[in-house]
Amino acid sequence: MVEPVGVEDDFPPRLPWWRNWKVMLPVWLAMVALVGLGLHFNVDHEVIAGGVLAIGLITNAFVWLLGIVALVPIIGPLIVKVLSIGLIWLLNAVGYLVAYVAIRRGYSKDVLTYRGITVALIIGIVIGFVLGKLV
């Protein structure tokens, strides 16, 4: 059978559920509400963080939030680019591993200094990246 011309054009294309704001906004509101309830009832912070991470990864909520941030003119795409730079993630991960080992060995004051320097370095890289893109 031949399908009449224009029948497919009558309906707009349907977005996947993870790109639909009508789904993702309630997901984020539910995550925020569950975090609030967890903090109110003194649930372990690691359980709360694990739950948010699991829900965020399964539903692609983090990607949707980055997409919303990217909609902000000029600075939004820069923030998304900086957050997705692998070097920043690698520096932060190595910093956490070194801090964990140092705290186990009793160097907690040195860890504070080291983490402060690491955060300053990451902030400097981010500021340099943003200024480099704007200029």
**Tens-binned pLDDT, residue by residue, of the chain (135 aa):** 565 555 555 666 777 766 778 888 899 999 999 999 999 999 999 999 999 989 888 888 888 888 888 898 888 888 888 777 777 778 778 878 888 888 888 888 888 887 788 788 878 887 887 788 777
Task: Locate the domains of the chain by residue range.
Answer: 1-71, 73-135
pLDDT at residue number 44: 92
pLDDT at residue number 29: 93
The pTM of the whole model exceeds 0.95: no
Residues 6 or more apart from 77 whose CB is under 8 A from it? 70
Pairwise CA distance, residues 102 & 100, whole Å: 6
